[in-house]
Amino acid sequence: ILNDAIDRVLAWKEQGASFQWRIPGTDKPCEIFYRDSSPGANEKPILLLLHGFPTSSWDWNEMWDSLSERPWRVIAPDFMGYGFSDKPGSRKLYYNSITLQSDMVEDLLADITGTVRTAVHILAHDYGDSVAQELLHRSIMSTREDASRIKVRSVCFLNGGMIPGVHRPVFITKSTSITNW
């Protein structure tokens, strides 16, 4: 059973790609892993899958094939510090991690679609809910001068803190938080 699980995870990785992301305000490159069901298919609407804490894009493996058979392009990144993406050691990089992860998602989509503003449908889980909320806020609140690079068409939040100011993480979330390293 363990060998089968390892083989499935390795196959997930082999079917993915990586994006060289420059962390804002630094000269540090960061390799971001992602899966893309239809590379180059810019005519398809995008379904962006954002994973939870402390996992990775592997969260979506059981439904990947079913979602990919639909008439959309499915994209699932591993956030910086998670899964097969790089894990920069600087703790201060993670203090504004929701903002940074949102920046990374915008940059990734701009890079792989080749467009300045990408329309997406979002399916988010747990920690991904917070990133999706930031992307939704940027999409709704941006002005022409400060245009978000993502236009959120729809969003589905799964099992996450919907109001960051009142969200109370459980003990395991606090005790394993990357800012506690």
Query: Which of the four pLDDT bands, split at 50, 70 and 90, describes residue 179?
Result: very low
Q: What is the pLDDT of residue 79?
A: 95
CA gap 10, 32 in Å, rounded: 16
Cα–chain-centroid distance for residue 62? 17
- Specify which of 23-27, 55-59, 88-92, 136-140 reaches the highest per-range mean pLDDT: 55-59
Q: DSSP readout, 111-153?
A: HHH--SSEEEEEEEETHHHHHHHHHHHHHHH--STT--SEEEE
- pLDDT at position 101 over 50: yes
Query: Which of the four pLDDT bands, split at 50, 70 and 90, describes residue 3?
Result: confident
Q: What is the pLDDT of residue 150?
A: 85
Query: Tens of pLDDT along 32-74?
Result: 999 999 998 888 999 999 999 889 999 999 999 999 998 999 9
Buried b (16+ CB within 10 A) or exposed e, 133-148: bbbbebbeeeeeeeeb
Per-residue pLDDT averaged across 130-154, rounded?
83
- pLDDT at position 119 over 80: yes
Per-residue pLDDT averaged across 152-181, rounded?
64
Query: Tens of pLDDT along 143-165?
Result: 655 667 789 999 999 987 766 56
Closest CA to 176 of 82, 59, 61, 50: 82
Q: How far apart are the first and last CA of the chain?
A: 32
Q: What is the pLDDT of residue 143?
A: 65
